[in-house]
Chain A
Amino acid sequence: MFSLRFTIILLAILIVPCLIRLKYDLEPYPAVMLPSGARKVQVGSDKFEVSYSAIYAMKKDGNWNNVDVKSLFDPIPSHYHKYILSNEFGLRESQETSKLGKTHPILVKLNILKNRVATEQDKNEVKQWLRNKLREQNFSDDKLKIIKKEEIISIPDGENLSAKITDEKVIYLD
């Protein structure tokens, strides 16, 4: 059967990634770890707050309309959309990396933590990609807007009780 040495090595392989996630909030891949999803909500409340990002673009008549996100991001699966939006399609400097780099300079020195800022060529590529996608949906292709919304929803009937815009960012594609 497995020797004591094997067991110790196995424990190290299993535990070290967990400790890294705990201490540095970085998850190695691959690693034997499942997410906990240990959030809680108030039970008695009859309202629920949801926050999400929506994408708007301009129609020919000058009005801002909701963009079909699934088509816009196609072929990228939907559960990655919010991460791409938080990074503004790679068009802004990755502040997350800069923050981590300040607290973990050794990771930067070892070239593990990289300052992933898109080159001009990459930015032009993604802008062209978005322009094509907007044209497919009959939108003007010069800009789009990312709107972060917070909505309060009534739990018993699912009705939208209130909505507010918490952030708005226009991305110019020309």
Chain B
Amino acid sequence: MKKLYTWTNTLNSLFWARVVDSTNLDVRSLSAFRILLGTFLLATYIPGFSWIAEVPQALFNPPVLSIANLFNKFPDISFFFALDCLVLLSLVGLTLGIKARLSTLLFLISWTIGLNFKFSFGKIDHSLLLLSALLFCMAFSGWGRKLAILPDNKTKFDSTSKSLSLLSVLLCFAMFTAGIIKAMNWIDFDLDANGFLSWHRSGYFQNGRQHLLAPYVNYFPAIVVEFFDYAAVGFELSPLLFLLHSRKGWRLWLLTACTFHMANTLMLNILFVLNFLAYIVFVDFTWLYDKFQQLKNSLYVKYCAFAAIALIVLFRGLHIFNYDILLSPLTHNETWLAKQWLDLAIWGVSILLIVKSLNQKNTSDHEDVREIEKKSAVGATL
């Protein structure tokens, strides 16, 4: 029994040591990434939930195993107003580094609760899962210690290496849950039945997803779409192998992920754009940190940054109380097309960033790495 425990403990240590080696980064990189993430979310995605209070109570149908199921009906408008304000303010706090750990957790909790009520119309939306996992892990990464107006104090709960390694494992598991069922159905060596085409046709004929390359998919030969089935399964079941292989291996998988999403946008018009944040967090942004360090000495840049954030907060704040204020002048179709082009641009930039990072060495904080090596050595000798 003791031998089994020792062996398992050693395996555990070796596993995490490999994962850390593949993912670790300097906390400066994450601090710069924090600003990037916050700015992106402020500019393009701030969830609003006040509209839910307008909806009749009879439509309340929450997921059975969720916090919303504890309620008998949708909460009052004041609840959602408070939630929206908390979401907005915590996101600003995260971006500017105002006690970023607390801000991140407040944003995550309020956002999750709001989403829970949004999903109470009968469907859970999975497009935001990876962002949730990212925020949860980053809250304990120490990313609020630098480039921050009110920096976090260093605590025993913060660890850049642990946060990134946990996030990578969560990514691998999430992909596995999608890929394992696909593998059982799509790996059939049958050119007459296809899974990729089921996604394409239901989107194309039922949901109006007929932009970009979607019309041309109808002409793809059977062998090509069959290859897509196997490629999708391979992509979703392989991340752990790449993660354990090497640092370069993990980045290769992240590059594949971005390419996969880009291809989905082109051929299926399916947008999962927020996922890019969960992939590029593994890119070394210490160059961006150095840039921010230079820029923060400039008063002009500081004023511009604060003005931009103040403007965003003003508009988003007004939107909480008046949903029509952010109505787009574009038609529904034009908006949809614009989103797809933005999606493509984001995936293109992500691909470039990851390609650039393929040959980068581990620039992580040496203190963190020494601690990991020490623990691995202790585990191995037991």
Contacts and interface: CB of A to CB of B under 8 A. Distances in A.
Contacts of B126: 33-35
Interface stretch (A59-67, A84-92, A134-142, A162-170): A84-92
B64 A41 contact: no
Given A30-B132, A90-B56, A38 B181 contact: yes
B17 interface: yes
Contacts of B202: 50
A28 interface: yes
Interface residues of A, number: 61
Contact of A28 (B66, B169, B323): B66
Nearest to B323: A75
A142 B380 CA distance: 76
Nearest to B373: A1
Given A29-B124, A35-B126, A2 B162 contact: yes
Contact of A3 (B12, B112, B185): B12
Interface string B9-20: 100110111001
Given A10-B169, A155-B201, A26 B65 contact: yes
B180 A80 contact: no
Contact of B20 (A1, A80, A90, A156): A1
Contact of B199 (A3, A37, A90, A100): A37
Nearest to B159: A1
Contact of B9 (A4, A75, A90, A125): A4
Interface residues of B, number: 74
Contacts of B9: 4
Instruction: Give the residue among A32, A79, A118, A158 with the most B Cβ atoms within 10 A.
Output: A32
B122 A107 contact: no
B198 A41 contact: yes
Contacts of A80: 121-123
B56 A129 contact: yes
B61 interface: yes
Contacts, number: 183
Contacts of A18: 177
A158 B182 CA distance: 28
Contact of A75 (B51, B162, B197, B225): B51
B170 A41 contact: no
Nearest to A151: B205
Contact of B58 (A35, A126, A156): A126
A12 interface: no
A27 B129 CA distance: 13
Interface stretch (B87-95, B143-151, B186-194, B338-346): B186-194
B264 to A, nearest CB: 11
14 contacts: A14-B170, A26-B65, A32-B170, A36-B179, A38-B186, A40-B185, A43-B193, A43-B222, A50-B202, A80-B123, A84-B121, A100-B64, A112-B64, A122-B56
Given A76-B55, A83-B61, 13 more contacts: A7-B16, A26-B63, A28-B66, A33-B177, A35-B178, A36-B178, A41-B197, A43-B225, A75-B54, A83-B122, A84-B122, A89-B59, A155-B201
Interface of B: 8-9, 12-13, 15-17, 20, 51, 54-61, 63-66, 69, 73, 112, 116, 119, 121-126, 129, 132-133, 161-162, 165-166, 169-170, 173-175, 177-182, 184-186, 188, 191-195, 197-199, 201-202, 205-206, 218, 222, 225, 323, 332, 372, 375-376
